[in-house]
Each structure stands twice: as structure tokens, then as C-alpha cells.
Amino acid sequence: MRGMPSAERIVKDIEFEILLGAIPRENFGDAILAIKAHQGKLREEVLETLQDSRVREAFSEVFQIQDMLIVLLQEMSRTIASLQASLPKIVNQGSPEALRPEEVTLTGWPGTGDSLPPSVEPIEINKFLRPDLLRLDLEVRPSRLPVIGKLVQSIKIALHHLVLFYVNRLGSQQAHINKMYGEQILELFKVMAQQQEQINSMGALINELLARVQPGKEA
Amino acid sequence: MRDYELAFSVVISTLDRADSLRVLLQALEAQTYSNFEVIVVVGPARDHTLEVLSRYEGRVRVLRCSHANLAHSRNMGLLAARGDVVAFIDDDAVPCRRWLEWLANIFENPLIDGTGGSVYLAHPSQPIIQFRIGIMSSLGEQMDVRSSWLERLTSPPGDGREWFARVMGCNMAFRREALLEIGGFDEFYRYVAEEADLVFRLVRAGKVVFPLKEAPVYHFPASSQYRKSFTNIGKWWIQTRSMVYFAIKNGLEAGDSLSSIIRRCFHLVHGHFLWYTQLLTKREWGLRQYIQGCMGEIRAFFSGILNGFFIPRRLIQPSMQTTSLLYEHEPILRFQNEHSVFQPFPDPVTGHRPQVQLSEPPLHICLLSGNYPPMHSGGIGRYTQMLARGLYELGHHVHVITRGDKERVVVQDGVFVHTVPYQLDRYHQYKRFYNACHILNYSHAVYERVKRLVLNEGIEVVCSPLWQVEGLVTAVSGLLPVVVWLQTTFQQIAELQGIQTRDAYVEALLEQILLEKAAFLVPISSAIQAAAQGRSQKVGSIPSKVIPPGIVPVPESEIRPFDIKCRSAPFTVLFVGRLEKRKGILDLFQAIPRVVERFPDVRFIIAGADNSVHDGFQKKMGINYPAFFMRNYSKYASFVDFLGEVTDEQLQCLYQSCDIFVAPSLYESFGLVYLEAMNYAKPVIGCRTGGVPEVVEDGITGVLVEPGSPKALAEAILSLLNSPEKMHEMGLAGRQRLLKKFTYTAMAKSFEGVFRETVLAFSKSIRSVRDERNAFC
């Protein structure tokens, strides 16, 4: 029959699904699951419209490869999350106070080399937090009209003043918001720096623990 | 490979539950990990607990606890333990076979100090997953979560609470040193929350507790001094006492505000008051019981408050630990002996253990059946139930995987029945083929469950019916050998009923794949064997053996052979089966007028669901079978009763009360219905087709006619109606034939041989592959 799967195709598809299932399926992030659901829907639509069995097979292969990539992503996210969950407990053995969630926040694994991006420094942010940067000054070109030139000039100035008043008021509000953002970013930098220190100390502690464990195993 | 095998001490605290304890000890003999001792701490028992334990003298260490306090009892076990790890299990639970093996794997990680697995409530009256990974707050608010939630433990739900992973007291294990370091269990807890308190203190002491989703324990709640199982009767205030104390002690340690602690305490009591009031209004509780409950709550509340705020914890003192340390280097007293491996598994619900002497270790078998009694009672479901029961009685450990809306485990007649839900979340490319897509997804869900059963129970072989190819994915995976049980194939049915859809084509392909991937074929009749082997050369080369299905013979007192001397009119002719073309219902319709015309003292009873929609009759004729009969044979309507689908009990009554059984199927791979009628000593009429002649001996136990011949069918019915002696003799001969050839035990014995052969062949092939790989490396 036209467009019907063969026994080999079915076995291949089953083996592929088994392969997918070899990677745990339950602990994945919602976003990745949404992508997966979308991909499933898309695949259904595409395969439904395609008539040529060879093209359909090719598309099917592509979707399967994408499935595999999604599962790999899921697995990576799961591994990262589980490492984050288990690290504080492992590292803070002996200091129970530090186990409290609000006091321990981790952003990464020491081995991944997470650190402050070299191009962004707190000083750069400070530079842009000045409120005067958002302030506009009056800039009216003198009118060249004879007789009424002065009158036009003064009307222009009055109108410009009015506009500038509101723009600068908005600007000052924006500057205030920017300042708050900036402060938060600086705060985050501080936290990140602290975390980096924590991560380094954790790495050292883990190395120490591993060193302690290894000889025991050998013995 | 492990350099050093961890020693386990399994601590069981028990009080007046001798029968449950006996089952647990029998189940522990089946553990795959042998390096463990068993310590039973007996409370002030009044039943035959000590008598049960006396059978294990020299294998179990028995301690006596003078008062009923669970935490104290657990501490006694802990102090006496010599193993590296102390595992706790309730006396009314049964662990999975690889429970200790799982735990040993976890404790191989030196950073982990505690763990616990999931708990299934497996009693038939209440099958649910009781516990699978949960978290608990410092105030005792608890939440069962999936492992993905645990990953978010750094920002858990709850306003500023300290949350920690919890385990269930029924299934938990800890390093002995870690427990002693924190002083063991707090002995204020007589019952409930002692394990949560322990884990909280462990975590705060910097220990790592890593809960597991697997390593299940099956729980069969037995009554205790605090509650009567599966009822609302109990001293529920004991929970309030423990939880109020828990919230105060741990809330204060975690730095929770006093107001939130007090609020939580009131919340606990308030919840219980509301529940009691509900029980009173529903009249499940009397006024006296209600007052007693409320008074108990008030007492418990103040006891919790007083002890929580003003009395220090009651932990194991360092001075008491010295006794424990004295024995810590002594070897453990191993529980298992050389006979343990040959012991059959007990039925945890009834406590019954098959009385068989096994010369080889029992097999660990997984049977697949999409429908399984009592939820569904299709033919394959009933075959599977009989086989499962037979294998259990032969001493084997049997698991059945069936379809269900939720994941559950329930124990029926000693067999563990796992229900598996499924979703259409795989095989999207087959969505055009509706049935095939469902079949593939369910088969995959079954495979996932089989994988877990291999991990938890050490399943060795899977047996799948060909119908609906439930074992397809498992067979393709090569995880385990799959024995395929052949009944009528879909291809045969499609041919008989003229189904030629794209879906049917794919379904037939799936069947073909399963046949080719099978490790062994078990056709239910020679006719089926011939049909299967003729499908392809590859299928013909797979080893096969015909094993006819068997049923449970009813007691002699229940059989009703035709009574020649004293019979009541009219004669009853019974038909049982789906109303569809294949079952020969149209032939019967045509035969009825011929019979009635010549023998009016007769009634036809037709039991079975109408299947006119699926076999295309409805589409062709515009009406269903009963309506068709009423329209075309209205003159004979008073002679026929259409009962529709009937329950098992009704069916047994129908078999018992009929005089002749008739099932003129155009094709039957075997025909369980004939056996069921023969069970009650009834003469049967069938067609000379498929496996029917292997069941019915023409002229001896019944009459066989050519398929699709209403005239011959009518003549056969009339010949029996006119000869009561023949009816009587044929019925009894049928019963004798059943007892000789078609009992469920005979079927199970034949299957046992097939399974052993398959397991052996599979392990040999695995070994040879491994050797090849090693040689290559």
C-alpha cells in the first residue's frame, strides 16, 4: 500500500523511541517540554500533508534527530539542576546554618568556569547612572525673520520650554528607574562575586573530599 | 565492582502483628542482597509473635521493648545493629526483591547518609502510591513531589520555611554512624513523624539524605493499638501530639517565627476537629467516640506544647552508645541460609505461602494482559489470570502488567498486578493509524514498567499475548526474552471479517514483528501453531510448544450434569460470546426457527455484548444483532433472551443452569467458553474449526458441525434435546476431559518448563555476547 510503513521502519522507530527513553523523561524544564510538544504537533502536521513517502521518511528522520537533541537538552538541564540541588548540602557539611535555602544560592558549577563577564565592570554601570545624562537643554535656533523675529523666537522658546519641562520630567523618572536597576545590577554583581568565592571554596572542598575518598577506596 | 560489601541491619519494630511479621520475614528471604541481619524489636506483645520468631532461631536477633513506643523501639534496634547501614521497614510491609541491593548501591556513595524508597499501598481494598519522594517543612507541612521538584529545593514553596527531603518510616535506611552521631530517634514520638524529625536533624547536622523513586516497599496496613486499618476508627490524636511537638521543636530550631509555629499547631488541631465533626454528621462516629476524640485532641495539643517548649529532646545518650560500639566490629548474623533461595514467595494479603518443595530457585515472571479480572474479563485476561494463579501455586514470583488509568499495584491471589496508564506521547508518525498508534504507545508504557520491574524485582522473563502485541517494544528492546502466547491473530480476524483498512495492515505488521522477535512461541492449539508457522520462515524457526489453556475446576458440589430423572421444562440452550459474525451468531439465528418448529419446549439464552459496530454489521444492515433477530425472526422472539454483557457471577450461574451449550464460531483459536461449560458438566456444540476439535471430542463430550451450516447446527441441537441420556453422558465426559487435560495447574506446569528453557537460553546468549565482546576488546 502506498505511504504505509514497512516492518523495518516500525522496528527502527521503536528502537529510536527506546533510545529516547534511555534518557530519563520526567525531570525536565517546562520550556523544553513545551518545545517538545510543539515539535510533536509540527511533525504531525508536516507528515500529514506530505504525500511522497521518501520525503516523509526524510522529514521523519530530521524530526527524530531534533527529538534526540531536545532530550539531550532536557538531560543537561536536569543534570545541572540536580547538581545545584545537591551541592549546597555536600559542600556545607558541618555548617548547618549555611544549609538554609535563603542563605545559599548557587549559579554554576566551578568546573564550568562561570565568572563575571570581563567586558562588564561595575564601574561602567556607575557611569551610566548619572541623572544628568538624561537631561535635555534648550536649543533654539535664532529666527531670521525681520520685525516679528523676536516674537517668533520667544514663542518658540516658550513652546520648547514646555516640551522640555515634560521631557525632563519623564527623563528624571526614567533616571530614577535606571538608578534602581543599576543598583540592583550592582547588587547582583556583589552576589555573583560572593558566589564565585563560594564556588571556589566549594571546588576546593570537593577536591579535598575526593582526595579523602580516593585513598579510602584504594585501601 | 564493590571492594567491600556493605553490611545491613534490617530493623523491624513489631507489636501484635504476628501474621504480617511472618510474611515480611518470608519475603526477606527472597532478597537478592544477602549480607544483612534482621533485628526484630518486639513490643509488649499479646499474640503469637514470639512463636513466629522461634522458627527463625539463630537467624534473627530478637529484642524486647517493654512499652509501645515506636521511636524507642527503633532506637533499641539501632543500638543493637552491627551493620554499616540500618534499614527500617514496617512489620506490615513487604520489600521488593532488590530492595537492599538498591540501598547498597546508594550507600556506595560515601557522601550519602540516608535514603528511602517509594511505598505502594498494595492491598486490594485501597491500591494507591502511598509515598514517592516528598518534602517536608520545619513546621511539618508535607508535600509529595516528583524528583524534579527536589531540584528546586533551593527555592521551595512555603514562605521562608526550611524544607527538606523526607522519607517514609516504612522504607528508609541510614548509616549507623550518622544516626548515632545525632542521637537516633527522639523518643517523644510514640507514633508518626519520628522519621521526619530524624531526617530534619540529620540534614541540619550536614548529612545528606537522598530519597529514591524506586526500591519500593509494598504496604498492607494492619491494625495497631492506634488505628484499625481501612476504617476511621483510631486514636488520631496521637498524630496531633507528634506533629505539634515536631512543629515547635523543629520550627524553633529553624528560626520560624513563634506566631507561625502557634498558627501551625492550631491548624493541626483545627483540622482534626473538622474531620471529627464530619464523621459525626455522617454518622460514622457516635457522640461518645466524638467526645473521646475531641478530649484526646485537647490533651495531645497540650502535651505537644508542653514537651515542645519546655522539655528537652529524648535522644540516645552518648553513655548508651558505648554498648553499641562494643559490638560494632562483630560480624553480622546473616538472615538468609542455604534454603532461602528455594522458598516460594508468600501472598502478603492472606499470608498464604504455596506448600511446594522447589528443587530450583523460583522463577520471576512478568505476564502481560491489557485486560485483567476483576476490572475487565476478556478471554485473554481470564487465561492470564489462570496462568498467574497456577504459576504462583507452583512457587513462582508472578507480576502481571495490565492497563489502567493510574499507576497502582495490587496483590490478588499472591500475584502482583501492576496497572499502567499510557498517553499518546510517542510514535507521532503513526497517528494516522489510530489503533496502531495506541498499541505502540501502550506497548512502550509496558516496556517502561518492565524495565522498572527488572530493576526492582529482578524479572527474568516476559510472557505476552500476541493479541494487541503488548510485549512488542520489550521484545524489540532485547531487555528480556519474550514468550509469545498465541491466540487468534488479528490477521485471521481481519480476513474472516473482511477488514481491509490501512490501520489493519499496520496492526498485522506489528503482529508479524512480535512473532519474529519472540524467544519462544506458545500457541494455544495446534491449529494456531500451524497458522503462525506458515506466516514466515523466520517464525517457523522459533521454538514453540502447544499449551492449551486451563481453568480452575469448580468443586464437584457445584457441577450440574443433566438430570435425566427429574428435569424442569423448558430446556435451555446457552450461547456465550460477543455478538459478531465470527462467533457464528447469524448461523445460530437461522438455526433457532428450525429447532423451535420441531422442539417448542426450548429457550435460547444469548449472553454477550453486541459487537455489530466493529464487525461492520451495523454499517451494512443499519441495526444491531438483537434488533436484527427481533425484526427478521419476530415470530420466535419469545423463545430467545438477549442478556447483553453479564458479570462473572452471572455467567457461572448461566453455565450451571443451562442444559446445552452452543458456540458455533466460524473460527476459534481454542475456545475457552467450551471449557467453561464442560466445567459444569454440560454437553457442548461447536464447529469443526481452528482449535475447537482439540477441546471438544465429537460424539463424546459434545457435537461438532461444519462452520457456517445453520441446518447442521439445528440438527445437532435437536439430536441432544431429543436424547437426555446423551446430554447427561456427554456432560460428565466433558468434565472428566477437563480435569485430565485442561486445568490451570497443568497449563502452569507446561509454562514453567517453557520459561525455564527460555531463561536458560537467554542467559547463555547474553553470556556468549559478553564473551565475544571481551575477546574483541
Domain residues of chain B, as ranges? 8-231+317-326, 354-540, 556-742
More confident residue, A120 or A215: A215
For residue A197 the three cell numbers come to 568565592
Q: Considering only CB atoms, which chain B residues are within 8 Å of A17? A: 426-427, 444, 473
Three-class SS state of B679: helix
* Residue where a domain terminates, one of A77, A98, A119: A98
- Retrieve residue B398's grid coordinates: 508472578
Give the domain extent around A48: 7-98
Report the chain B residue with the minimal C-alpha distance to residue A36. B425
**Element (H or E) spanning B638, and its range?**
none
Q: In the Cβ-directed half-sphere of B692, how many Cα atoms lie within 13 Å?
A: 24
Express each pLDDT in B184-241 by its tens digit. Answer: 999 999 888 999 999 999 998 988 898 888 899 999 988 887 878 777 778 888 899 9
Whole-number Å distance between alpha carbons of B462 and B443:
13
The total of structural domains in chain A comes to 2
* Cross-chain residue pair A17–B505, CB shorter than 8 Å: no
Q: Read out DSSP for B355-417?
A: ----SSPPPEEEEE-SS-TTT---HHHHHHHHHHHHHHHTT-EEEEEEE-SS-EEEEETTEEE
Does B135 contact A at CB distance below 8 Å?
no
User: What's the rounded Cα separation, in Å, for the pair B727 and B719?
Assistant: 10
Question: Could you tell me if B284 and B297 are in contact, meaning their C-beta atoms sit under 8 angstroms apart?
Answer: no
Residue B739 neighbours by CB distance under 10 Å: 13
Nearest CA in chain A to B431: A44
Q: Which amino acid is at A94?
A: G
| Interface contact flag, B207 A93, Cβ < 8 Å | yes
DSSP code at position B70: H
In a domain, A141, yes or no: yes
The grid coordinates of residue B763 equal 542467559
Task: Give the pTM.
Answer: 0.75
Task: Determine the pLDDT at residue B324.
Answer: 61
Residue B246: its pLDDT value, please? 95
- Measured CA to CA, the distance from residue B445 to residue B426 in angstroms comes to 10
- pLDDT bin (cut points 50, 70, 90) of residue B242 is very high
Contact flag A101-B432 (C-beta cutoff 8 Å) = no
- In this predicted structure, the answer to whether residue B763 has a pLDDT above a threshold of 50 is yes
Q: What is the pLDDT of residue A133?
A: 64
The mean pLDDT of B469-486, rounded to a whole number, is 94
**What pLDDT is attached to residue B501?**
83
Selected for mutation to probe chain B from A56, A89, A207 (highest B CB count within 10 Å) is: A89
Mutation site, B149, B150, B151, B480, interface A, largest A CB count within 10 A: B151
Contacts of B155 in chain A (CB under 8 A): 101
Q: Which residue of B has its CA nearest to A213?
A: B110
pLDDT in tens, B355-413: 888 889 999 999 999 989 887 767 788 889 999 999 999 999 999 999 998 899 999 99
Tell me if B305 sits within 8 A of B268, measured CB to CB: no
DSSP B130-144: EESSEEEETT--EEE
The string of pLDDT tens digits covering residues B296-330 is 999 999 999 999 999 999 998 877 766 665 566 67
Contacts of B202 in chain A (CB under 8 A): none
pLDDT at A111: 30
Interchain proximity B430–A17, CB inside 8 Å: no
Shared-domain flag, residues A175 and A119: yes
The pLDDT assigned to B164 comes to: 84
Environment class of residue A138 by beta-carbon count within 10 Å: exposed (0-12), middle (13-18) or buried (19+)? exposed
CB atoms within 10 A of CB B85: 26
CA–CA separation, B590 vs B167, rounded Å? 66
Query: Does A93 or A213 have the greater pLDDT score?
Result: A213
Percent of chain B predicted with pLDDT > 90: 59
CA end-to-end distance (rounded Å), chain B:
19
Task: List B172's β-bridge partners, or say none.
Answer: B88, B116
Q: Is the domain of A43 the same as that of A76?
A: yes
B658-681 average pLDDT score? 91
Which residues are within 8 A (CB) of B617 and not within 5 positions of it... i.e. 6 or more apart? B580, B581, B624, B625, B628
Tell me, rounded to whole angstroms, the distance of Cα B229 from its chain centroid: 20
Residue B418 exposure: Cα atoms within 13 Å on the Cβ side: 23
| Nearest CB partner across the interface for B203, out of A63, A99, A209 | A99
By DSSP bridging, strand B85-89 and strand B171-175 are antiparallel
Question: Residue B644 carries which side chain, given as an amino acid letter?
Answer: G
- Per residue in B65-106, pLDDT (tens digit) is 988 899 999 999 999 999 999 999 999 999 999 999 999 999
Q: Return d(Cα B237, Cα A29) in angstroms, integer.
A: 41
Neighbour order of strands in the sheet with B36-42: B60-64, B36-42, B8-14, B85-89, B171-175, B112-116, B208-209
Name the pLDDT band for A70 (thresholds 50, 70, 90). Answer: confident
Is residue A64 pLDDT above 50, yes or no?
A: yes
- 3-class SS at B218? strand
A27 and A119 together in one domain:
no
The CATH number for B8-231+317-326, chosen from 3.90.79.10, 3.30.1330.10, 1.20.1250.20, 3.90.550.10, is 3.90.550.10
Contacts across the A-B interface (CB distance below 8 Å): 115
Put simply, the answer to whether B429 touches A47 (Cβ < 8 Å) is yes
List all residues 6 or more positions away from B74 whose beta carbon is below 8 Å from its beta carbon: B11, B13, B41, B88, B184, B185, B194
Residue in chain A closest to B472 (alpha carbons) equals A14
Nearest to B155 among A27, A89, A101 (CB): A101
- Three-class DSSP category at B569: coil
Which amino acid is residue B567, in one-letter code? R
Rg, C-alpha atoms of chain A:
31
Per-residue confidence band for A94, with pLDDT thresholds at 50, 70 and 90? very low
Please check the confidence at residue B419 and state whether its pLDDT lies above 50: yes
B158 pLDDT higher than 60: no
Residue A122 above 90 pLDDT? Answer: no
Helix (H) or strand (E) holding B11: strand B8-14
Q: What is the spatial distance between Cα B739 and Cα A172, in angstroms, rounded to a whole number? A: 98
- On whether any CB of chain A is under 8 Å from the CB of B508, the answer is no
CB B686 within 8 A of CB B704: yes
> B151, A81: Cβ pair inside 8 Å?
yes
Domain B8-231+317-326 identical in fold to domain B556-742: no
pLDDT > 70: percent of chain B:
94
Put the strands of the sheet holding B217-219 in their side by side order.
Answer: B93-95, B217-219, B119-121, B128-131
Judged by CB atoms closer than 8 Å, whether chains meet at A44 and B428 is answered as yes
* Burial (CB count <10 Å: 0-12, 13-18, 19+), residue B160: middle
How close A81 gets to chain B, by Cα (Å)? 5
Q: Which of A6, A12, A17 to mutate to test the interface with B (most CBs of B within 10 A)?
A: A17
Q: Is B107's pLDDT higher than 50?
A: yes
Contact B151 A82 (CB under 8 A): yes
| Claim to verify: residue A83 and residue A151 sit in the same structural domain | no
Q: Which one of A42, A74, A98 terminates a domain?
A: A98
Whether B472 and chain A come into contact, CB under 8 Å, resolves to yes
C-alpha span between B120 and B406 (Å, rounded): 13
Contact between B206 and A92 using a beta-carbon 8 Å cutoff = yes
Write out the three cell numbers for B602. Answer: 426450548
pLDDT of residue B752: 96
- Taking only the tens place, the pLDDT of each residue in B128-140 is 888 888 888 888 8
Among residues B179, B169, B171, B14, which one has the least CA distance to residue B83? B179
Confidence class for position B447, pLDDT limits 50, 70, 90: very high
Question: Residue holding cell 514453540?
Answer: B544
Q: Report the 10 Å Cβ neighbour count for B693.
A: 17
**pLDDT at site B7:** 94
**Number of H helices and number of E strands within chain B?**
27, 27
Q: Which chain A residues are closer than 8 Å to B447 by Cβ?
A: 18, 21
ipTM: 0.78
Tens of pLDDT, residue by residue over B612-626, are 888 888 888 899 999
Predicted pLDDT at A84: 58
Sign of CA dihedral B347, B353, B356, B362: positive
* Same domain flag for A120 and A205: yes
Note the CATH number of domain B354-540: 3.40.50.2000
Q: Is residue A24 part of a domain?
A: yes
Asked whether residue A36 is domain-assigned, the answer is yes
More confident of the two residues B391 and A74: B391
Residues of A in contact with B448 (CB under 8 A): 21
pLDDT digits (tens, 9 = 90+) for B56-66: 998 999 999 98
Give residue B284's pLDDT. 87
Comparing B682 with A21, the larger pLDDT belongs to B682
- Which CATH number is associated with domain B556-742? 3.40.50.2000
Question: pLDDT category, B632, cuts 50, 70, 90?
Answer: very high
